[in-house]
Chain A
């Protein structure tokens, strides 16, 4: 079976659910999430069945590749979406209140929160496979537009609406820059296919100015998606305002897909010595500034979601460091670890939000006494986010730092290590709230069976990957970051 069916399945599933909800509204919207999650689980299973060598039909083939990186990121997107749907199930009471206000009789609007992530998921899977800048743009827009709606979906809450507007405007700006940048790259080279760019750009000597200009615009646009300084500014507000499952989705899946695209796009330019001489210092400064901004900004935060927003900026800095190190397997592992630990943290946030009604750090006071198991999972997650040894986060940070050391970026390492150390302070602030602060009430905090299972899986993943990182060895293969199909390499169809 050719891999391109995977996305078709996901889109088909999403459309079917959308139609089903329009014409046969289910009384219990949870069912939609369940069907969606199970469908994605099946697609995830198919990921191991598909034959990456099978060629898609000629209409798709020029734009689509199923190299090892693409498959890994498809898997990541699927897992993240499955967990986000489960998270949404648990978060439903809050969602319903946010969408329909105090009026409990109205049931509408919730189903979209479960269906739109499927579209975004398909978009991210296409992003992972896109080998053409135009196709990349289209799939990226599918993701972004789905997110515009999702972020603003709790329309009775000012925070959600504000986040939606900010995300829409800044996202539109980034889209504009992306298209404009692609135009310039096309103008300078006459190509939109990444595989052709990968062959042509490293040797180019003329039109460098135009090419660099275009690539900088694309870099800026992708920096928006990943959350790199100085294009990170939407992140704290949007993360705090959006519904928690959407925040988790943004933080995990959207970032992961954008990182792969960024690495793929930058690779040819980093291979051109003339451009690289300018590009590497710029990327280094961006990475260092992002690390500093994310970690220092997190210090003063009292809202857990906002804290996670800054944490996500900080992690973006590490990811860019990994891209600079030019060993993409390290970045892939980092993202795998990041998915586990971040989703676990968001599960905890949503559970506490549901029963305490706030996402402040003070809402977590005394959690160790109210629910020791939940507190334990959050400790594991915080430890991993901070990078304590024997957790997945440590291996990820270690790998990325080592990649930077091997590449000789010592000044960046000198920034990244203290930044990581600062991380310990704010991640363990959460631990302090859970273990040392007195809670307002000592009632045990209930956790649904679904969330328990999900949290157990994510925590186990964080610990197992930290203990035995080679487990991902088969999934993360060392392959060229830009796939160059044998067929297209010699048929350069420059107009």
Chain B
């Protein structure tokens, strides 16, 4: 008898601990979520923009095996979108193609990606990546001046509260892709070489 009551006591203690733990984790998650809120808002928009960009860009035929092959969005290095990008990818299609999000760590992973995002944290690797992408038809999207200067194609720009973007049309065309004039219209800045 005594043993069983002891066991029960023990069990009770255990339960309490678990509950406390769960609460802590939730709190943590919530706080983290909130903390992440402000940050992720920007990246939510950017994730949506990434998806939208794909709608205004024409890749060459070789980029896709067939009409149903997925559009691959690669995120190099750190993924600042969290689950946002995946969510969008799951929920939407582009012209009937499913969207796949791929995390890129090395240059070799780049193969098969149609759109590549480089976060500002990866500024150091920008030049390297971009040179690796020479001759490929991958739309590069970044969010730093360095990226733009290095020859990125689309660059996110923060103007006050809005997320806007600048487009290097030259680079896009150079890599064999076509970008819609509409998108160009919306861009803050379009670099286009007049003589080409």
Do these two chains really belong together in a complex? no
What is the interface of chain A, defined by CB distance below 8 A to chain B?
none
